[in-house]
Amino acid sequence: MNEYFKEANVTKSRDSAVAELKANLDDNDIVQNLQNALNDSRKLMQREYVAMR
């Protein structure tokens, strides 16, 4: 579980990937869809956190 929180709060690989794609893709629709998916994933992580307590 420590690795889960390390990824979510420190490493943030998903955030870095979306930021890199934003910088390198010209297709705003794709970038927006990825950003929406990341936002939905963050919401899910909050629910998972509550469920783990």
In the chain, domain spans: 2-52
> Which three-class secondary structure string do you get for 13-38?
HHHHHHHHHHHHCCCHHHHHHHHHHH
pLDDT for the residue 52: 84
Distance between CA 37 and CA 29 in Å, rounded?
12
Cβ proximity of 36 and 22 under 8 Å: no
Predicted model pTM = 0.79
**Rounded to an integer, what distance in angstroms lies between the CA atom of residue 14 and that of residue 30?**
15
Q: In which residue are the tokens 């690989």 written?
A: 13
Per residue in 1-53, pLDDT tens?
889 889 989 999 999 999 999 999 999 999 999 999 999 999 999 998 889 87
Q: So what's the pLDDT on residue 4?
A: 86
